[in-house]
Amino acid sequence: MTALMPIKSKNIQGIAFMLIGVFLMSSMDAVGKFLVQADYSVIQILAIRGMFNLTILLGWMVTHGGFGSVKTKQYKGHGLRIIFGLLAPLLFFMSLKHLPLAEATVIFFVSPFIMTALSVPIFKEKVGPHRWGAIFVGFAGVLIVMQPTSGLLELEAFMVLGASLSYCAIMLIGRWLGTTESTFTIIFYMTLGTATITGFASIFVWQPIPLEDVGLIAAMAVLSLTGNICLIKSFRVGEVGVITPFEYTGLFWAVTLGYLVFAEIPAAHVWTGVAVIGASGLYLVYRENRLKR
């Protein structure tokens, strides 16, 4: 019994980190949607956010070993991760200009199913018929939200799908890089690359921005970095099978923030999609826990 107590304690910590991290990332999405709807270029938003993030990371690096702490030989891996690290937020925030926050978040939650499917050819992992079934049901939930047969299918929905695919690539490449690189090194190079690219690109779309909106972008940077740190710590502290279900609280926050900030009320088909995706995702976690036992 006493041997189980440290595990339970770590799992509680992992759950707490996951809940906080998901809330912070959902809040960042809400701030991003507010700025995009204010007609700021997504490139400009990402450039300013990247500069804030890079400044924070550089400050941390100076006090923790200098440039020696980010030495690497995996330039191709980091380069690929930078490309997808740029595409994921670019496509997602562009979609938020017209797509409700809850709807975009629900579609984005196809990523766990994509990563599970891609783990077969990339990492040679075995996915049984139960998990393949959950993957197909999860995709069905996304199709319910997108309504491809209604004639109302929007370009923004495909942007979210592109963002989700890019996010999957970020995670899978990060998993591969994690065998030789530290977490800080992986985050540093993606931040450096995306901040540099968007910084140059923003020259062509730059427009004056009030100080209070610069403050909102700075808040996005803090929410992003803090949220990512919490998510990374949650997976390091707790058991994956225990903490993963709490990632779906992001759907709750998307609906809540969408209503409170933008007065968005999800349609009936979105609620149906939430139920289908949530159920299939939780079943994936259930199968993983059962197989481990």
pLDDT at 112 over 90: no
What per-residue confidence (pLDDT) applies to 73?
Answer: 84
Classify residue 139: in a domain, yes or no: yes
Classify residue 83: in a domain, yes or no: yes
Q: What is the Rg, in whole angstroms, of the alpha carbon atoms belonging to the chain?
A: 19
151 CB-contact burial (10 Å; exposed 0-12 / middle 13-18 / buried 19+): exposed
Classify residue 7: in a domain, yes or no: no
What is the rounded CA–CA span in Å between residue 233 and residue 19?
12
Q: What is the mean pLDDT of the chain?
A: 83
pLDDT at 4 over 60: no
Classify residue 215: in a domain, yes or no: yes
What per-residue confidence (pLDDT) applies to 49?
Answer: 94
What is the extent of the structural domain holding 143?
Answer: 14-292
Q: Most confidently modeled of 45-59, 130-144, 179-193, 235-249?
A: 45-59
Q: Which of 82, 92, 134, 96 is nearest to 113 (CA)?
A: 134
Classify residue 262: in a domain, yes or no: yes
Tell me the mean pLDDT in the region 172-180.
83
Band of pLDDT at residue 5, cut at 50, 70 and 90:
very low
What is the rounded CA–CA span in Å between residue 110 and residue 59?
35
**How far, CA to CA in Å, does 118 sit from each of 69, 135, 267, 278?**
31, 11, 31, 20
What per-residue confidence (pLDDT) applies to 203?
Answer: 94
What per-residue confidence (pLDDT) applies to 1?
Answer: 45
Classify residue 5: in a domain, yes or no: no
pLDDT at 81 over 90: yes
CA terminus-to-terminus distance, the chain: 18
Tell me the mean pLDDT in the region 167-194.
86
Could you give the number of structural domains in the chain? 1
pLDDT at 31 over 90: yes
pLDDT at 28 over 90: yes
What is the rounded CA–CA span in Å between residue 70 and residue 78?
12
Other C-beta atoms within 10 Å of 215: how many?
10
Tell me the mean pLDDT in the region 114-136.
73
Classify residue 2: in a domain, yes or no: no
20-34, 139-153, 165-179, 197-211, range with the lowest pLDDT: 139-153
Q: What is the pLDDT of residues 236-282, one digit of tens each?
A: 777 665 676 777 788 889 889 999 999 988 888 888 888 888 787 77
What percentage of the chain reaches a pLDDT higher than 70?
Answer: 87
Tell me the mean pLDDT in the region 135-162.
75
Classify residue 3: in a domain, yes or no: no
